Amino acid sequence: MNAFRSSDSDRFCSDLRAGLFYLFLLGLTLRTVHLAASADNPLLYMPVLDEAYYVELGRAIAAGNLLGEDGLFFMDPLYGYFLGGLFFLFGDNLTTVRLVQIGLDSVNILLIYGIGTRVYGKRAGAVSAFLYALYPIAFFYSLLILKTTVAVTLLLASVLMLLGCIDSGRRRDWLFLGLLLGLMTYLWANLILMLPLSVVFILSYQKMPWRKSILHCTIVLAGFAIMLVPGVLRNYASAGELALMNTQGGRLLYACNNPFNLTGRYNVPVFSRAEPVFSEKDFHAEAERRLGRPLTRKAVSRYWAAETFRFLNDNPGVVPVLLYNKLKGSIGHCEIPTNHSYESAARFSPLLGWPFPFFSVVLALGVPGLVIGVWQSRKAVVLLLPILATLTTILVFYTSSRLRMPAVPFLIIGTGICMPVLWNWIRMGRWGKASMAVAASGIILLVSVSIPCPPKSGGEEFFLAKAYHHIDELEKARQTALEGAATYPRQARFQVLLGMIAGAEEMPEKAIEHNVKALQLDPGNVDAWHNMGLIYFETGRPKEAVRCFEKALALEERAGTRRFLEQARQKICNKNNQASP
């Protein structure tokens, strides 16, 4: 009998390992197919906004600049070091980065299985892993040169490690947990919220003397503090300041909570450009203009944080409006873009058009599943920690698909709990409980899909057209930019881009015409003045070029514009000398 039981157990373990392998292989295959299907997406070949910043940071680190950049980091640095390591080992190749992230996101399937199994059993773990393997929005983020996929991996690993620490109780495990929580804050500063939430969970969950629980929390805090030391030393060596976090916090806080933006979404004020590096400079310049003195990056961040709190304190009535809009956007079915549009990516990959499982479905089944899980198993409370950390971040800053993505795997685990339990209730004839769960899911689904998508800003069309221009597909670039200019006739950036396309097609007069239109819409558009100066310079009209370059430099100091200005002036001098007898 014992031999028979042992044989059954071995067969079960073998089947389980085979099932996990097939789930991993399914996720890996689907994500790889998505990469192949997206080959015609020009945005994969032109990093934009946050992507561009991280690629340049990674290149600097790979080239030997281990400090990354001068002064304090204004964005979370760990993803830049991640890219730097890949560039150093495999060369400056974004396809390699995407393949590594596809591998990490496939590992996330196994991590989800591990968490689901520990909190509610193997069936919940298997269903959750299967759902994440099919989740198309995870496919989307695995191809972006953004920290989202890596953040999901570290967050899942930290929750699984927390559960392992609860079971083992070994001090070294608690130390490693603290180190991992500290590492996560370098990747995404808002994940620092996982530290206090984990401490509360440890103190409330463990059935042991308070002294032992406090000792475990102290070890976690010590590990966290140890991990922060390299960052503090790096910041002091680079900027002469003691700083823990990045310096963009104040800028982001104000951009999402100011008198001119109550939408709950990210939207820079009129004095700032959208690109992160330029936005940081514009916010810095505006803070110095208002205060009338030079400021450090850290002081600028403090200033904008103080401005945000002053606005909210003086206008308490806007607080519920902001919170409502942020919450509404967070539970809505739309994937609100901040860098890349899911809708735009779906044009190139049919895998992104799958109807199941989408966010609204995961939310509708995940929330009842979490309630069921917490009601029946105290361990399931751990699933709420990353969801609370994510929701808090959104309510403080802004709502977007990228910010809510770290919570999705835990909602999927909730779905993995709900579906087998619901099926079991139906099979056993427990119609009351089944009806309540179905009704709750139906209401949540209806609310989610009924929330309208926010109006488009034109960014999707602009960056797509710019990407086509970047890879020299000029006809597609022009058509996309013309569509954008027709849809958003008051946006100067489409006219600037059309001017660049006309210049690449060797139509200088047409390029000048588009830049003139851009300046009629936005007289302070530096790119339009600079680009028009280049056209004049290249077509032998240095006087007109000098006028345009001087206008551009009056608006913003740029080394490239300054260099072309000097060359244009030299051309004028040469012409005058040749004309002199």
| Burial grade of 483 (CB within 10 A; 0-12, 13-18, 19 or more) | middle
Distance, CA of 177 to CA of 158 (rounded, Å): 7
What is the SS3 assignment for 383-408?
Answer: HHHHHHHHHHHHHHCCCCHHHHHHHH
CA 564 to the chain's CA centroid: 36
| Domain ranges, ordered by start, for the chain | 22-241+336-450, 459-579
Distance, CA of 573 to CA of 565 (rounded, Å): 12
For residue 548, give Cα distances in angstroms to 76, 517, 543.
37, 15, 9
CATH of domain 459-579: 1.25.40.10
Per-residue pLDDT 10s for the chain (581 aa) are 454 455 554 554 565 677 789 999 999 999 999 999 999 999 999 998 899 999 999 999 999 998 888 888 888 999 999 999 999 999 999 999 999 999 999 999 999 999 999 999 899 999 999 999 999 999 999 999 999 999 999 999 999 999 999 888 889 999 999 999 999 999 999 999 999 999 999 988 767 677 888 999 999 999 999 999 998 888 888 777 777 777 888 999 999 999 999 999 999 898 888 788 788 889 999 999 999 999 988 899 999 999 999 999 999 999 999 999 999 999 999 999 887 889 889 999 999 988 778 999 999 999 999 999 999 888 899 999 999 999 999 999 999 999 999 999 999 999 999 999 999 999 988 899 999 999 999 999 999 999 999 988 888 899 999 999 999 999 999 999 999 999 999 999 999 999 999 999 999 999 999 999 999 999 999 999 999 999 999 999 999 999 999 999 998 888 889 999 999 999 888 777 776 65
